[in-house]
Amino acid sequence: MTIKTNASKRYWVTRSLAGLCALAVVAGLAVVTSAPAHAELRIDITRGEVKPMPIAITRFPGEGVSETEVGQNITSVISNDLARSGLFAPIDEKAFIQSASSLAVNPNFAEWRAINAQALVNGRVVTEPNGLLRVEFRLWDVLAENQMAGVAYRTQPNNWRRIAHKIADEIYKRITGESGYFDTRIVYVSESGPGDKRVKRLAIMDQDGANHRFLSDGKFLVLNPRFSPTAQEVVYMSYFNDKPRVYVLDIDTGELELLGDFPGMTFAPRFAPDGNSVVMSQALDGNSEVYELDLRTREKRQLTRHPAVDTSPSYSPDGSRITFNSDRSGSQQLYVMNADGSGVQRISFGGGLYATPVWSPRGDLIAFTKSQGGRFYIGVMRPDGSGERLLAEGFLVEGPTWAPNGRVLMYHRQHPSRDGTKDRYRLYSIDLTGYNEREIVTPADGSDPAWSPLIP
């Protein structure tokens, strides 16, 4: 952990946001925030194993019963978000010395240092005359005795959970220097039923598992859901009357659009960074190639031309290149090519079989699934193939997806039963250090997750 401190000065500026909570449109979210302070309380997340920073997150008091309850809920969500990141260690409130009422005036920093807190969060909840909820919070550097950030959000009362995620994002960004990822959603395939008759439904939830909702009824098999760059649409494959088709679903309106009734089998669709096209695989006469479909003109362009199986394409963040896996070298390996299909280069040489490559939103890494010696791994490597690191291992771990800050991965893990009839599939997240693997709890089995960008 790297910690630096400098002097800080408190002042406020104003900005505004408009938000979406889960699947419903909410009122505009007004934000008042302090300008970036000069204090430098920092966690260096580029290192290997990072010791979590002790942080005190006090309850947000309210004027009435409902505001007090909301304040407690907000505090709980913030604490859970930060703890799951593996970078913060929220201190048990039973250890707090200073009362919430006196903290509203100014922190007694000596009392917070006495319980080993390096950062302190306090706030309050107020219902305004117009019915909107005002949630304020401040982040303090306990060692430097300075305020690092101060934000006030105004929104509808039922939007409190999203406010909590935004506060957690603000804290994460202020202390790590990296963008947060808590105000995001996960779309995935929810699975139920016996192994030979699995029901696979499209489902969506907040990144912490809250606000869970099914997006399909299970009548038709769904696979490979992926978010659009706007986080409002999902592209996926579904078997309609036993025919594989690619659809785009608007998760706010429920409107479903068929991209095309392609001959053969189409699979592994994924949006381009600009949202104007989709790259996917299509198998014709037993040969799988990578294609790009322009969503405006519906013109399809073939990108690979090889008798081998080419599949699982993923764009680089700037849209200039595509990574995919292919067995053209005699075994399944990772490749990178230009977005027009030229300049194909193999990048995986570490032994074993490689699949499901996904380019990081930062552009610096490609995540993948690897199988070797009867075991599966989730790993990352640089786009030139160097720096391969394996982060997670298991009987079956597969399908990595990136958080929008490029520091955390999610994937699914199979827990096999003895007879193979009750295998469990669960979603897990892990950061790039490989030391913070956590299960994301879902109502039923879950597989093939996709992480949204930050919600607009």
pLDDT band (50, 70, 90) for residue 150: very high
Q: Check pLDDT > 60 for residue 395.
A: yes
Number of domains making up the chain: 2
Give the pLDDT confidence of 32-58 residue by residue, as tens digits. Answer: 544 444 447 887 766 666 789 999 999
Q: What is the pLDDT of residue 419?
A: 64
How far apart CA 190 and CA 203 sit, in angstroms, is: 6
pLDDT band (50, 70, 90) for residue 450: very high
Secondary structure letter of residue 209 according to DSSP: S
Domain boundary among 130, 159, 176: 176
How far apart CA 147 and CA 4 sit, in angstroms, is: 14
3-class secondary-structure state, position 277: strand
Which has the closest alpha carbon to 246: 216, 281, 286? 281
Question: How does DSSP assign 26-78, residue by residue?
Answer: EEEEEEEEEPPPS------TTSSS-PPEEEEE----BSSHHHHHHHHHHHHHH
Per the domain annotation, does 305 fall within a domain? Answer: yes
3-class secondary-structure state, position 309: coil
Give the pLDDT confidence of 151-166 residue by residue, as tens digits. Answer: 999 999 999 999 999 9
- Sign of the CA dihedral with 438 first, then 440, 445, and 447 last: negative
Q: Check pLDDT > 80 for residue 210.
A: yes
Q: What is the pLDDT of residue 244?
A: 83
- Are 170 and 317 within one domain? no
Q: What is the pLDDT of residue 26?
A: 32
- Are 247 and 167 within one domain? no
- Are 148 and 189 within one domain? no
CB atoms near residue 419 (< 10 Å): 8
- Are 273 and 388 within one domain? yes
Per the domain annotation, does 252 fall within a domain? Answer: yes
pTM of the predicted structure, to 2 decimals: 0.88
How far apart CA 248 and CA 12 sit, in angstroms, is: 42
Question: How does DSSP assign 354-418, residue by residue?
Answer: EEEEEE-TTSS-EEEEEEETTEEEEEEE-TTS-S-EEEEEESEEEEEEE-TTSSEEEEEEEE--S
3-class secondary-structure state, position 182: coil
Q: What is the pLDDT of residue 421?
A: 58
What is the radius of gyration, based on Cα positions, of the chain?
A: 23
Cβ 57 vs Cβ 17: under 8 Å = no
**Structural domain containing residue 62:** 53-176
Average pLDDT over residues 271-284: 94
Lowest mean pLDDT: which of 39-53, 287-301, 350-364? 39-53
% the chain with pLDDT above 90: 74
Per the domain annotation, does 402 fall within a domain? Answer: yes
Per the domain annotation, does 247 fall within a domain? Answer: yes
Q: What is the pLDDT of residue 317?
A: 97
Give the pLDDT confidence of 317-348 residue by residue, as tens digits. Answer: 999 999 999 999 999 999 999 999 999 999 99
How far apart CA 411 and CA 369 sit, in angstroms, is: 10
Q: What is the pLDDT of residue 11?
A: 27
pLDDT band (50, 70, 90) for residue 415: confident
Per the domain annotation, does 28 fall within a domain? Answer: no
Q: Check pLDDT > 60 for residue 265.
A: yes
Q: What is the pLDDT of residue 72?
A: 95
- Are 287 and 413 within one domain? yes
Average pLDDT over residues 270-279: 95
Q: Check pLDDT > 90 for residue 206.
A: yes
Average pLDDT over residues 358-365: 97
Give the pLDDT confidence of 79-88 residue by residue, as tens digits. Answer: 999 999 999 9
Tokens of 255: 């409107």
Q: What is the pLDDT of residue 47?
A: 62
H, E, C per residue of 108-141? CHHHHHHCCCCEEEEEEEEECCCCCEEEEEEEEE
pLDDT band (50, 70, 90) for residue 286: confident
Secondary structure letter of residue 157 according to DSSP: G
Q: Check pLDDT > 50 for residue 108.
A: yes
3-class secondary-structure state, position 240: strand
Per the domain annotation, does 236 fall within a domain? Answer: yes
Q: Check pLDDT > 60 for residue 298.
A: yes
Q: What is the pLDDT of residue 7?
A: 29
Q: Check pLDDT > 60 for residue 20.
A: no
Give residue for tokens 């074993």. 352
Per the domain annotation, does 8 fall within a domain? Answer: no
pLDDT band (50, 70, 90) for residue 306: very high
CA quadruple 123, 129, 132, 138: dihedral, nearest 10 = -20
CATH of the domain at 111: 3.40.50.10070
- Are 328 and 450 within one domain? yes
How far apart CA 254 and CA 258 sit, in angstroms, is: 13
Domain boundary among 176, 195, 213: 176
Average pLDDT over residues 168-177: 96
Domain boundary among 131, 156, 176: 176
Q: What is the pLDDT of residue 18?
A: 37
- Are 164 and 202 within one domain? no
- Are 418 and 278 within one domain? yes
- Are 134 and 166 within one domain? yes
How far apart CA 355 and CA 340 sit, in angstroms, is: 21
- Are 76 and 112 within one domain? yes
Q: What is the pLDDT of residue 301?
A: 94
How far apart CA 443 and CA 60 sit, in angstroms, is: 30
Tokens of 161: 């959970």
CATH of the domain at 276: 2.120.10.30
pLDDT band (50, 70, 90) for residue 240: confident
List the beta bridge partners of residue 146.
141
Lowest mean pLDDT: which of 28-32, 56-60, 128-132, 432-436? 28-32
CA quadruple 79, 80, 85, 91: dihedral, nearest 10 = 40
- Are 141 and 223 within one domain? no
Per the domain annotation, does 320 fall within a domain? Answer: yes
Average pLDDT over residues 219-234: 93
- Are 196 and 337 within one domain? yes
Tokens of 425: 């599939």
Q: Check pLDDT > 90 for residue 207.
A: yes
**Coarse DSSP helix, strand, coil percentages of the chain, rounded to the nearest 5 percent:** 10, 45, 45
How far apart CA 60 and CA 119 sit, in angstroms, is: 16
User: β-strands 88-90, 53-57: how paired?
Assistant: parallel
- Calculate the average pLDDT of the chain: 88
